[in-house]
Amino acid sequence: MPLNGPPDQCHPNQFTVRKEWGDLKPAERKAYTTAVVCLQNKPSKLDSALYNTTSRYDDFVAIHINGTRRIHNDGLFLVWHRNFVWLYEHALQSECGYRGAQPYWHWIKHAKNLTASPLFDGSEFSLSGQGLPLSAEEKAKQPPCRVGNVTCPTADGGGCVTDGPFVNYTIGYLPSNPLEMANPDPALPPTAFHYQKRCFSRNLNQYVATNIQTADNLAAVENATTIASFQALLDNASGTGRPGLHPFGHWTLGPTGADIFSSPADPAFWLHHGMVDKLWTEWQAKDPWARVYGTNALSGPVTGLNIPPSEDASLGHMLEWGPNEQELPVGAVMAVGRGKFCYKYA
Ligand SMILES: [Cu+2]
Q: What is the pLDDT of residue 149?
A: 85
> How far apart are the CA of 163 and the centre of ligand 1, in A?
26
How many domains is the chain built from? Answer: 1
Q: What is the pLDDT of residue 21?
A: 98
> How far apart are the CA of 11 and the centre of ligand 1, in A?
30
DSSP letters, 115-166, are GGSTTTS-STTTT--PEEEPPHHHHHTSPPEEETTEEE---S-EEEE-SSTT
122 in any annotated domain = yes
289 in any annotated domain = yes
232 in any annotated domain = yes
> How far apart are the CA of 111 and the centre of ligand 1, in A?
22
3 in any annotated domain = no
Question: How far is Cα 166 from Cα 34, in angstroms, rounded to an integer?
Answer: 9
> How far apart are the CA of 18 and the centre of ligand 1, in A?
20
In tens digits, what is the pLDDT along the chain, a chain of 346 residues? Answer: 555 789 999 999 999 999 999 999 999 999 999 999 999 999 999 999 999 999 999 999 999 999 999 999 999 999 999 999 999 999 999 999 999 999 999 999 999 999 999 999 999 999 999 999 999 999 999 999 999 889 999 999 999 999 999 999 999 999 999 889 999 999 999 999 999 999 999 999 999 999 999 999 999 999 999 999 999 999 976 778 899 999 999 999 999 999 999 999 999 999 999 999 999 999 999 999 999 999 999 999 999 999 999 999 999 999 999 999 999 999 999 999 999 999 999 9
Q: What is the pLDDT of residue 77?
A: 98
262 in any annotated domain = yes
137: left (phi over 0), alpha (psi -120 to 50) or beta: alpha
275 in any annotated domain = yes
Element (H, E) at 173: strand 170-173
- 216 backbone dihedrals φ, ψ, rounded to 5°: -65, -45
The domain containing residue 137 runs over which residues? 12-186+198-345
> How far apart are the CA of 138 and the centre of ligand 1, in A?
27
> How far apart are the CA of 203 and the centre of ligand 1, in A?
19
> How far apart are the CA of 285 and the centre of ligand 1, in A?
23
163 in any annotated domain = yes
2 in any annotated domain = no
CATH number, domain at 129?
1.10.1280.10
